[in-house]
Amino acid sequence: MSGIPLLGEAFPEMEVVTTHGTMKLPEAMAGKWFVLFSHPADFTPVCTTEFVAFQKRYPEFKAMNCELIGLSIDQVFSHIKWVQWIGEQLKEEIQFPIIADDMGRVAAKLGMVHPGKGTNTVRAVFIVDDKGILRIMLYYPQEVGRNMDEILRCVKALQTSDAHGVAIPAGWPNNELIGDKVIIPPAKDVKTATERTGQADSFDWWFCYRKL
């Protein structure tokens, strides 16, 4: 477990074989955000729905300077055949690379294999920023497919937080309390707390919000 990276740490350096050739991570994504996501196996129904869903949203990820990278412990020829099948049968061209981790080295380094859930990779998601820092980790079991709109939201939320120095509420930009507004960092001194008390766009001095 000690080798698994933690939030705020640099994404570990690794050389990987993909459907787009060999690449070094995170070096190959320098200056870009990327989402690395694992799936249990090629030619399985839930994974196929996920890849189609990711591909349909790929332009939205790219618009945020964010790339997608898939991964499973299948061999690269299996990835290639599966991608071809998706293109031929479902009319969706998978344009992002898929890592062939057939030796399981990447899966072991990133904690993608959970013995209680079998020998395949679980549905892990790693969001890495343009400086190579791991910002979000998500894990789903094999039996539950992911919500790609939530992953898109996570990237947008992180980028918004970084750009404006704010926190992001639950369900943003459709929060039940403050809609599409964002949360101002809490006051750090009595003077600021006093000034914020009773202000508009504030529930209390420690819970203030604003429009971007």
- Active-site positions read 47
Residues 117 and 142: beta-carbon distance below 8 Å = yes
Over its C-alpha atoms, the chain yields an Rg (Å, rounded) of 20
Alpha-carbon torsion angle 51, 55, 60, 65, nearest 10? 80
Alpha-carbon distances of 124 from 13, 39, 103, 144, rounded to whole Å: 18, 7, 17, 11
State the residue for tokens 């050739």.
21
